């Protein structure tokens, strides 16, 4: 049976090899090995071990993506089976309708889309397109990300693409330490539903909005394409890979960082700060009232068809 020392050692090796800031990985390694030597994890197993190590990881380096995770589903420990958690993520997205939880038409011809995850672009495109098709004739749109816990950078770029007129907008860049490369993310040229580039958009956030959800909110806000309403988000801007270090334990290693093309930075550690700060529970009502006022002030701005 694998020991706690072996589990933690493997996790630290993964962090040292892949964490986006190598100098911080050294600090993390020293801190956790010191805790291990002091007997901090003796007698712990399963979720309790993961919780204790995660707390110490984030004390050494306050990156909310840096975690030891317990999973009920057994994980393969064969190196060639490793995919950074992609297969598990894709399966969860299929089970959750690619993150789209609700689509409605509200009073005043205002569309509402609620997301709990950001799907990958290839697998999520048809569902994302179906949601956007349903709101295509609305006069304003509310994108509810209050319960959105993360997802795919490519999917975030696809969602954002709907709110710009073409494929000429450079949204963000992501630097990946493991490959020492920077990938540019631009608006998508071809979308399966009409663009929503000419009408008001409101994005709702909460204290639990995280990662990919923050990406959409931050990008649309930075490019002046949406008004963010709600609470400041959690602050996790580092794309992350997952590695099995035991049959039921994963280490999540933030191996990349986002750089917004407008701000030159990202939301790591600070969150997305709303344009209209209100308690998350009041965000929808606040956004709807703002949208109705805006539409009433522009009576000629009807819904577009494409």
- pLDDT, position 299: 61
Chain segment 90-116, per-residue pLDDT in tens: 888 888 999 999 999 999 999 999 999
3-state secondary structure of 69: strand
CA 152 from chain centre, in angstroms, equals 7
Residues (pLDDT < 70) of the chain are 80-84, 299-306
- pLDDT, position 80: 59
The string of DSSP letters for 121-158 reads HHHHHHHHHHHHHHTTT-SEEEEE-TT---B-HHHHHH
3-state secondary structure of 219: helix
Q: Which distant-in-sequence residues (6+ apart) come within 8 Å of 58 by Cβ?
A: 64, 66, 67
Domain boundaries, the chain: 4-81, 96-236+271-297
- pLDDT, position 75: 83
Given the candidates 3.30.1360.120, 3.30.750.210, 2.40.33.10, 3.90.226.10, the CATH classification of the domain at 96-236+271-297 is 3.90.226.10
- pLDDT, position 303: 45
- pLDDT, position 105: 96
């Amino acid at each position: 049976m694998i020991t706690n020392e072996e589990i933690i050692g493997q996790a630290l090796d993964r962090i040292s090899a892949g964490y986006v800031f190598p100098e911080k990985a050294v600090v993390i390694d020293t801190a956790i090995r010191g805790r291990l030597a002091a007997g901090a994890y003796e007698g712990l197993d399963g979720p309790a071990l993961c919780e204790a190590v995660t707390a110490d990881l984030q004390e050494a380096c306050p990156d909310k993506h840096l975690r030891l995770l317990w999973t009920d589903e057994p994980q393969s420990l064969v190196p060639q089976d490793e995919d950074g958690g992609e297969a598990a993520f894709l399966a969860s997205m299929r089970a959750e309708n690619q993150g789209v939880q609700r689509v409605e038409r509200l009073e005043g011809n205002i569309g509402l889309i609620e997301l709990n995850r950001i799907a990958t672009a290839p697998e999520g495109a048809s569902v994302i397109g179906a949601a956007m098709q349903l709101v295509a004739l609305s006069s304003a749109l509310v994108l509810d990300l209050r319960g959105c816990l993360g997802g795919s950078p490519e999917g975030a770029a696809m969602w954002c693409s709907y709110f710009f007129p073409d494929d000429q907008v450079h949204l963000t860049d992501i630097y990946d330490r493991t490959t020492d490369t920077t990938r540019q993310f631009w608006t998508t040229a071809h979308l399966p539903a009409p663009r929503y580039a000419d009408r008001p958009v409101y994005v709702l956030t909460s204290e639990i909005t995280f990662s990919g959800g923050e990406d959409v909110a931050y990008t649309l806000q930075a490019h002046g394409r949406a008004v963010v309403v709600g609470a400041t988000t959690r602050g996790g801007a580092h794309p992350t890979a997952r590695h099995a270090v035991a049959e039921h334990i994963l280490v999540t290693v933030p191996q990349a960082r986002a750089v917004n093309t407008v701000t030159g930075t990202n939301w790591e550690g600070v969150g997305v700060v709303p344009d209209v700060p209100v308690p998350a529970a009041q965000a929808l009502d606040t956004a709807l009232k703002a949208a109705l006022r805006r539409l009433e002030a522009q009576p000629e701005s009807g819904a577009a068809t494409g």
